[in-house]
Structure 1
C-alpha cells in the first residue's frame, strides 16, 4: 500500500548512479586480470538489493556476494545471469535450494566441504562453490592445515573443484596493522599450490591497499555504498544515501531546563528546539544522543549545523536550532540527518560505532526515493 509523501516522518533517498560510479572507481583500482565483484548483503547495505544489484550489473559487475541463502535466492530473482555466492556457507540439509537457484555456497568448515563434496560425488559432477580458508580472523573458514589436507585428498573431494578460494582481512581498515601482511603471506603460502583456482582476499579496504592484495577477485562492500573503508585516508567514495527527518514542532527551552528522557542534557542558555519525526526505530542510533557529559550527533538545516539535544528516543530527536535562521524552521520542513552534509562516518563516531551499522539500519518507516541526493 502506498502513502502520500506528506504522511511519512522521514525520507530516505538512494542514488543508484552513485553506487554504480563507486563500483566503476573500485574496478579501476585493479588490473585487467582481477575481477571486481560486489558484496550485496544486508539488503545491499540498506540501499535495497532489488534496485542496487541491477544498477551494479548494468555498470559491469558480474559476481555478487550475499550473506544468507535467502538473500542469495532473492538476488537470483533479479539477476538471472549473475554469479551469486552465499558467504554464510552451506546450511544443513539445504543443498537442493542452492542447486535449484544456482547459488554457490562459500564453504566455511570441513564439515560443509565434506557435505558438498559428497553431493558432487553422488551426482558424478562438480557443482560450483567457494572454499574459505581462515588466515587469522577466526570466524568462518577451514584452518590452513584442514585446507591443505582437504585440497589434496581426492577421496574426500571426488569430482569437486572449487570455483574460488577466499579469505577475509581482519584489520583492513588500518592498512599499517601488521595483521594485514601476516594474513596476506599466510594466504599466499596455503593457496599457492592451488593458484590455478581463482583466489580472493580483498574487501573494500583491501582493494585500496594495492595489487598485492588483489589476486583474481576483489569483493568490495561498504565502499560501494559510500562508506569509508580505510580510517586513515580521506573517503573517495560518493555518498549514496540521504536521510531527512520532518520537523514537527519548534519550541523555546529556558536556561536551566532539561531536554528529553532521563533529563540528561541541560540548557546552558535559552534554546530553541526543533523536534523531528525520526528516532532509533528508524536507524538513527540512540548512542549518538547528547548529554551534559558529551556532545551528540547533529543534523543540518540549510547548511546550518543543529546539534542533537538529549536522548534520541524511538520516534523523535530534538535538535538545537537556536542559531538557525527563522525562515528555515517551518513545520513540515526536512532536516538532513545523514547524507552529503552529514557523513555516515562522522555520525558513527558520535555513536561509537561504524558507518556499516548506520547504513544497514536505516529507514524502515521512511518514504524511500531513488534518485540524486541533491
Structure 2
C-alpha cells in the first residue's frame, strides 16, 4: 500500500520529510506471526498514533495483511480506530474510565479491566443490560502498574456477583523485563501467569508483547500483541534487530558556514570547535521529535546524521527548530542549501540515536514529525 497522506502545504514549505513504509510494517507483522506455534493469534499494538506512523494508514495496511485484533491505549484511540476498521476486534489497554462503559459498548470496544473497581463497574453494566459484553481482565504478575493483584484476580473470578453477569474473553498480563531476555523476572512472571490462569483455560490468554514473541513458544499462549517490533524498533536491548525499518526522517539544510577553531557552537557554548569546521544547519529540532539530549558538548559526543554514505556528527545543543552538523569532511557538492539530510531511518536506527539521548527508540518514534511533510511509501 503506497499512498501519500494529505499535507496542508506544498512540499517546499516543510523543513523536513517523514516517510513511512506501511509495507515494511506489514512485513514485520508477518515475520512475527511466522514465529507463532500452536495456533496463537498475532494481534497488533498501535497505540500513540501507531507509534508515530499514523493510526489510520497503519491499521488499514495491517488489516489488509491479515491482522484482525488491535490494541490501543486510551478510549479516544479506540473509537477513532473503530471508524477505520468497523469489523476488527479492538482493546483499550488503559481500561475503563469512570462512566464510559456505555460508550465503549456502543462502539464495540473491549476495555482491559485492570482493577476491581473497573471490573465491578463493567459487571454492573452487563447486569443492567442482561448480557455479558466482551472485555479482558488484566492480572499483575510483577510490573506493579495496571492489573489486579493475584489475590484480587482469583477472588474476582470466583465471585458469582461479578462472574454471573460478565465472562471475560481474554486474561492478560505484561512483562516487566522482556527487553532483557535473560532476566530471571521473565520466567517468574511466566510461571505466575500460568499458575493464576491455568484454572481458566477455557478463556484465551495473552502475555507476550514484542519481546515476548521473541522469547519463545512458552510465552505465546493464545494471543500475542507486538508493538515496537512492528515499527522497526528493538524488542531486545542487545543483539541484532531482525525487524525492517519503517520510518525515515530527512531534513533540509538551511545554511552552510565556516567556524574558526576555538569558537563555540550553539546554545550555552556547549561545543568548542577543535579545528576549523564547516557546519550545516538543518531545519528541525526537538519540537520535531529529535530529542535535545542527543546533542553534543565538549564533555560528550552527540548523535549523528547521514549525508549519502557519510556520517556527520551533531555539534552542540539541539535547539527547538535547528540542529548543527559537522560537514567539514563531506564533499561540497553533497552539502548545499535545500539538500536533505537523513536524521533517522535505514542508516540511522532509532535505537542507535536513542542511545546518545539516553532514552529508548519508543520515545523517538512516538515523537516524530509534528511539522514534517508526511509521505507513505518505500524508504528509497
Compute the TM-score of the two structures, normalised by the length of structure 2: 0.98
SS at match of 2:338: coil
Q: For 1:1-374, what aligned pairs fall within 5 Å after superposition?
A: 2-374=8-380
Preserved contact between residue 11 and residue 244 of structure 1 (Cα < 8 Å): yes
Q: Distance in 1 between matches of 2:78 and 2:219?
A: 26
- C-alpha RMSD over aligned residues: 0.7
Q: Deviations over 1:143-193 (max 9, x none)?
A: 000000100111222231101000000000001001100000000000000
User: By how many angstroms is 1:32 displaced?
Assistant: 4.6
User: By how many angstroms is 1:3 displaced?
Assistant: 1.1
Unaligned runs of 5+ in 1: none
Q: Deviations over 1:232-266 (max 9, x none)?
A: 22000000000011000000000000000000000
Q: Deviations over 1:55-95 (max 9, x none)?
A: 00011100000100000000001011100000000000011
Q: Distance in 2 between matches of 1:72 and 1:226?
A: 23
Q: Distance in 2 between matches of 1:120 and 1:100?
A: 13
SS at match of 1:74: helix
Q: Distance in 2 between matches of 1:103 and 1:373?
A: 34
Which 4+ stretches in 1 moved above 4 angstroms? none
Q: Distance in 2 between matches of 1:223 and 1:256?
A: 44
Q: Distance in 2 between matches of 1:3 and 1:121?
A: 52
Q: Distance in 2 between matches of 1:95 and 1:112?
A: 10
SS at match of 2:58: helix
Q: Distance in 2 between matches of 1:283 and 1:155?
A: 48
User: By how many angstroms is 1:362 displaced?
Assistant: 0.2
Q: Distance in 1 between matches of 2:42 and 2:165?
A: 28
SS at match of 1:208: helix
SS at match of 1:65: strand
Q: Distance in 2 between matches of 1:196 and 1:305?
A: 55
Unaligned runs of 5+ in 2: 1-6
Q: Distance in 1 between matches of 2:326 and 2:96?
A: 50
Preserved contact between residue 120 and residue 158 of structure 1 (Cα < 8 Å): no
Q: Distance in 2 between matches of 1:282 and 1:97?
A: 34
Q: Deviations over 1:113-161 (max 9, x none)?
A: 0110111111111100000000000000000000001001112222311
Preserved contact between residue 114 and residue 157 of structure 1 (Cα < 8 Å): no
